[in-house]
Structure 1
Amino acid sequence: MHEFLLNKSLAQRFIGTSLHDHPRVGINTSNARHLSVDAAKQTECVASDEELSRVRSLTIFGDAGDTISCLRKCKLLRVLDLQECNGLNDDHLKHMYELWHLKYLSLGGYINELPRSIQGLHCLETLDLRRTEIKFLPIEAIMLPHLAHLFGKFMLHKDDLKNAKKMSKLQKFFSSNKSNLKTLAGFITEEGKEFLQLIGHMKKLRKVKIWCKHVEGSSNYIADLSKAIQEFTKTPIDMDRVRFLSLDSEECSENFLSSIHLEPCSEDYKYTLKSLKLHGNLLQLPLFVTLLSGLIELCISSATLTQEHLSALTNLNSLLYLKLVADKLENFEIKLGAFLSLRRLCFVVKNAASALPKFEQGAMPNLVSLQLLCQGLVGLSGIEIRHLKHLKEVTIDSRVTAQTRQDWEQAAKNHPNRPRVLLLGEVHSVESEEPGRPMEKRRICVGQASSEDERDSSLKRMRLSDPSSSRLQVIGHPHPVVVTATEAASQPSMAN
């Protein structure tokens, strides 16, 4: 179906391309609504104003060159993707903010400052700055009325933080429910508590990522962070709100996250999260995790994970997906009766010499998907899957030996369900997380490798989702199937 729609669009010139072998934008683009420019070399823009005025989506790869001059002619542009546009700098943004109808904007290259003139993009809904070098965000960007998804790693501009009038205006903007912000992934808390205090006023916020950087001499930092998390996760007892939270404390002291304290809720409220991601040096599981009722997805990343971490998780009765990332595992065993609701389990072990987990018979009775992403996996490593009665797929690292692949194939054949065995290549991710993606639902495309001409290849690179991808190969199949996904197969969306 994808190929049919692609060819149909090309035939009707609904989609247009400009390749580095034909570097002239404007050829055969008279009816184009979606334009992809692969500017591996300097590309000349010769399209007329009338031709480019019809373009609604523009993706540019390679050198920015003269191609950027086309932007001023795309008066009705809705989507602008410049994540993989090399050589992009602040000067190229001069006229970008005259695109009044723009709804999606992703930037890359050497952009290190977002001008305050971005307030002119009144219709903007998604702003992706993850590929840029922007560290400070002007208050005008976060106050865009239709902005729903904001990605990057930034803090509010220092001048804005010091301006009491502007900060008061920002608080009123959120409190009056004028903001449409749903995804904030994410911000750095290094400069103090001001931004943390705004979390409770962001009424529509659903997904948050926070990079924790403890400021010396700030005794109230933990209290402010705890209160922000408390406000974000608190919900009326009779409501089920969907919330995603990601906390990165890698640059803080060991066990920093364990200092977070949530006060007991009143009878009419509860703390609830759908997804939680923790990254840092965790000597023990933070106590607040066990207070989160209804937690469905959990990802923990730490240098070392032990049986103590695992034991603290067994009381999460609603958990469906668990991902554990560590350099090494110590005495890691999932015992009888543990994780009764768990459907998907993923281990990422970076140290090839690390011991792997052991599963007792009767543990995880409803497990459907098992991922063992350990380059040092040798054979089955003592892992028994036969008692996992509902197992449908096993994913292993594609870098394991051929003998290990064969061992897992044979184990799958001996299983009553004959689960699929998948090979996962390296995941190259911008944010992680993950998330992923502007962290929306995972999208998977299944197909067989084939030789495409450059035009089709360029078109297939047009995308609005997160550029991170992984490659899965189903082994034991006469014609290997390649699966491309924003994350590992069968992995639910996580907070990024």
Structure 2
Amino acid sequence: MTSQLSCCHLLRVLDLQGCSLEYHPSLWFLGNLFHLRYLSLAGSKYDGELPPIEIGKLQFLQALDISGTEIEELPSNIVELRQLMSLHLEWGTRLTNRLRNLTSLEDLQGAGVDSACTAEELGHLTQLRILKVKIEGRWDERARKAFVASLAKLHRIQYLSIRTWDYVAADLEGSVESLSNLRYLYIDETKSIPTWISPASLVLLSSLEITVVQVRREDIQVLGKLQALRYLNIYISGDKQVLERFMVSPDAFPCVIKCTFTNFATVPSMFPSGAMPRLEEFRFGIQLEDFSGGEFALDDLALGHLPSLQSVAVYLYRFGNASEEVVRKVKEKLWHEADVHPNHPELRFY
């Protein structure tokens, strides 16, 4: 196969996705394909290396995908591919120190950020629209500052995914004045919701998925002011959390159609009439003990003020010793609310 490919001098697209290259000795033939625009080894399990000499010849390459391979390190001369616009890596692939030279890069996925130096390099990729990174290795105060400072420079970013190493909560706090083009944000483990997640900074944010150690009621208030937000998923890591009673403003979450609160307890009454007018799918948790003569009453489980509901899922948390009678009354109340709601939303318990 390789000898045949090496003769295809005018080849512009080479997609080896899913091919079994696990025991392939070399990619030497790439040097003959100097007209390549697109090269994918995704899912091939190739366990060799990208040959530097051959890669350096691909001066017209615009997209390179090595996700799903065993390639451990990028050749240093990859930074000479000035037309490269898309680079998809296998998680853990070591980056070159001169990443900033890839000035045309718009899509970077799978990059490992293991030092302040790497974090600082990202800030020079000002054409980025899609960025998926994994925080790993030595993540100290200097690296945190460098990473957040780099985010502040990525004014064209639309899709941002931040993963952490071994589920260790990262501190992402810092000053980010504006990510005005950001539409999707995923953070899989952070100590708290960063203050740069704000309506002033994220004017176009449509989807937010975040795992956080602790959420505060003021965080929910701020998120409610994100005018373009349609999908919200907040997951509390570690121990379940109970929010104190509070209520968002009547104009909160104006565009949200799907909302999921996982591993922390709240009630529908936190959303007054007017809030979440477009909400169709609602997942939330309640602490059953709160309805045993505690902070909440069954009326706090009213669903009628959410006019667009189509589906409701309720996590029933027992932090103490709620009686079976309380469980029955809570379920009966929610079944009643679903029955009398104009949309008769589907109701599930977990």
**Pair in the same fold by TM > 0.5:** yes
TM-score (norm 2): 0.68
Aligned to 1:245: 160
1:326–1:75 distance in 2 versus 1, CA, 3 Å: farther
What's the secondary structure of 2:105's corresponding residue? Answer: coil
The alpha-carbon deviation at position 186 of structure 1 amounts to: 3.3
1:68–1:295 distance in 2 versus 1, CA, 3 Å: same
CA distance in 2, matches of 1:326, 1:115: 44
Aligned to 1:228: 150
Residue 323, structure 1, aligned to residue 202, structure 2: no
What's the secondary structure of 2:132's corresponding residue? Answer: strand
Give the conservation status (yes or no) of the 8 Å contact 1:307–1:331: no
The alpha-carbon deviation at position 410 of structure 1 amounts to: 11
Task: Work out the percentage of aligned pairs sharing the same amino acid.
Answer: 24
The amino acid across from 1:256 in the alignment is: D
Residue 205, structure 1, aligned to residue 142, structure 2: no
The alpha-carbon deviation at position 418 of structure 1 amounts to: 6.7
What's the secondary structure of 2:281's corresponding residue? Answer: strand
CA distance in 2, matches of 1:325, 1:231: 28
The alpha-carbon deviation at position 181 of structure 1 amounts to: 0.9
Aligned to 2:58: 121
Residue 387, structure 1, aligned to residue 305, structure 2: yes
The amino acid across from 1:323 in the alignment is: N
The alpha-carbon deviation at position 300 of structure 1 amounts to: 0.4
Residue 110, structure 1, aligned to residue 34, structure 2: no
TM-score (norm 1): 0.50
What's the secondary structure of 2:223's corresponding residue? Answer: coil
1:70–1:369 distance in 2 versus 1, CA, 3 Å: farther
Residue 146, structure 1, aligned to residue 83, structure 2: yes
CA distance in 2, matches of 1:133, 1:319: 38
Aligned to 1:186: 110
CA distance in 1, matches of 2:142, 2:264: 40
1:343–1:281 distance in 2 versus 1, CA, 3 Å: closer
Aligned to 1:359: 268
Deviation per CA, 1:458-486: give whole Å up to 9, x if none: xxxxxxxxxxxxxxxxxxxxxxxxxxxxx
CA distance in 1, matches of 2:157, 2:341: 36
Deviation per CA, 1:246-300: give whole Å up to 9, x if none: 222344864522xx3217x6xxxx4533332212142x21222236241513220
Give the conservation status (yes or no) of the 8 Å contact 2:240–2:264: yes
Aligned to 1:489: none
The amino acid across from 2:20 in the alignment is: N
The amino acid across from 1:215 in the alignment is: R
1:395–1:362 distance in 2 versus 1, CA, 3 Å: closer
Give the conservation status (yes or no) of the 8 Å contact 1:81–1:106: yes
CA distance in 1, matches of 2:302, 2:3: 60
The amino acid across from 1:194 in the alignment is: C
Q: Which of the residues 274, 277, 282 maps onto 2:183?
A: 274
1:309–1:96 distance in 2 versus 1, CA, 3 Å: same
Aligned to 2:258: 345
What's the secondary structure of 1:147's corresponding residue? Answer: coil
CA distance in 1, matches of 2:71, 2:246: 43
Aligned pairs for 1:66-81 (under 5 A) are 71-72=5-6, 74-81=8-15
CA distance in 1, matches of 2:203, 2:165: 26
The alpha-carbon deviation at position 129 of structure 1 amounts to: 2.1
CA distance in 2, matches of 1:373, 1:100: 55
CA distance in 2, matches of 1:74, 1:417: 60
Q: Where do 5+ consecutive residues of structure 1 fail to align? A: 1-66, 162-166, 234-240, 375-381, 398-407, 424-496
CA distance in 2, matches of 1:69, 1:386: 69
Give the conservation status (yes or no) of the 8 Å contact 2:203–2:228: yes
The amino acid across from 2:46 in the alignment is: I
What's the secondary structure of 1:276's corresponding residue? Answer: strand
Aligned to 1:299: 209
1:148–1:417 distance in 2 versus 1, CA, 3 Å: farther
Give the conservation status (yes or no) of the 8 Å contact 1:79–1:102: yes
What's the secondary structure of 1:280's corresponding residue? Answer: strand
Aligned to 2:321: none
CA distance in 2, matches of 1:373, 1:93: 51
The alpha-carbon deviation at position 208 of structure 1 amounts to: 1.7
Give the conservation status (yes or no) of the 8 Å contact 1:137–1:156: yes
The alignment's C-alpha RMSD in Å is 4.1
